[in-house]
Amino acid sequence: MKPSIRRLVTVGTALAAAVLLMAPTASAVKPGETFRYGDLDCTAAADLNKNGSLSCTGTMNVTWRAQVKCKAGFTYYGTWQNNAQGGTKESKTESKCVFAVDDVIIDPIV
């Protein structure tokens, strides 16, 4: 490999690692609980049909979705959202968990 190509690959790898390290970590929460993800204030929820959702308010240029885990062990994903323009966005699943929604986590594109 030529030195300039090797240097470019090294710089690209370092930049990718830096982006991953800058992303906030996400924790799973129970429906009804709130948490902060970067500049977003998020609330996990479950409706009467046992569909999980995540609502996030704030301005942050990150694309995210709800990741819902059911008590029976299944995992479902909500619709992709982005808060780059601010406001409140909701990512809802059609999980229809058999027993109940166990927890919800934010699943970002990093």
* pLDDT score for 47: 96
User: Of residues 16 and 45, which shows the higher confidence score?
Assistant: 45
Q: Provide the sign of the torsion angle of the four alpha carbons 67, 106, 79, 93, taken in this order.
A: positive
User: Of residues 24 and 62, which shows the higher confidence score?
Assistant: 62
26 class by beta-carbon count within 10 Å (0-12 exposed, 13-18 middle, 19+ buried): middle
User: Of residues 7 and 80, which shows the higher confidence score?
Assistant: 80
* pLDDT score for 16: 40
Contact 60, 38 (CB under 8 A): yes
* pLDDT score for 27: 76
Q: pLDDT digit string (tens) for 33-81?
A: 999 999 999 999 999 999 999 999 999 999 999 999 999 899 999 999 9
